[in-house]
Amino acid sequence: MRDYIDTDYLILVSSDGKKTGIEIFRDRIKENKWPIYDKTPQLLNVKVGKNVIFYIAGSGDKKQSFVGTARIKRKINSENDVLDPNQEFRKVLFYVEFENFKFFNKSIQIKDHIEKLDFIKNKEKYGLYFQGGVCKIDEISHNYIVNCSNR
């Protein structure tokens, strides 16, 4: 789950903090500025040109669902010792900005599609694959999720 293998596809996870996961997601997308923390798994894979899918974890509205896609346009260096206001004690290493953003018309609940997602090997403990804010996803699973959004 956390090993480094170069991939063109990532999942960016928004989880509950001082706000719900979906509220944090909406704030980040509105600003087009997504924080990447100093201890983020898959940190080396967060690069310009990578395709991302957004996943909402937590317990609020749109929980445990995929809600959109984008491509990383650029990385923006963080000021010294910036902490994320929504995730206490999380030091921001840099931010990513997106292009080609698409918000899904209907969120895609993971539980309805988990058997088709190859990057999740242990289907019963799928939440483990989303820990840490960034996770890799294979091309087939990425395309499956995107195609579900077009239905």
The pLDDT assigned to 24 comes to 92
Q: How many domains is the chain partitioned into structurally? A: 1
On average, the pLDDT of the chain sits at 88
CA 2 to chain centre: 14
In terms of residue numbers, what domain contains 31?
9-149
CATH code, domain carrying 113 = 3.10.590.10
Residue 3, domain member (yes or no): no
Each residue's pLDDT tens digit, 119-132: 999 989 998 889 88
* Cα–Cα distance, 117 to 113 (Å, whole number): 7
* Cα–Cα distance, 138 to 5 (Å, whole number): 11
Closest CA to 83 of 73, 93, 75: 93
* Cα–Cα distance, 31 to 24 (Å, whole number): 11
The pLDDT assigned to 3 comes to 52
Each residue's pLDDT tens digit, 63-95: 899 999 999 999 998 877 776 666 666 788 899
Q: What is the largest CA-CA distance in the chain?
A: 44
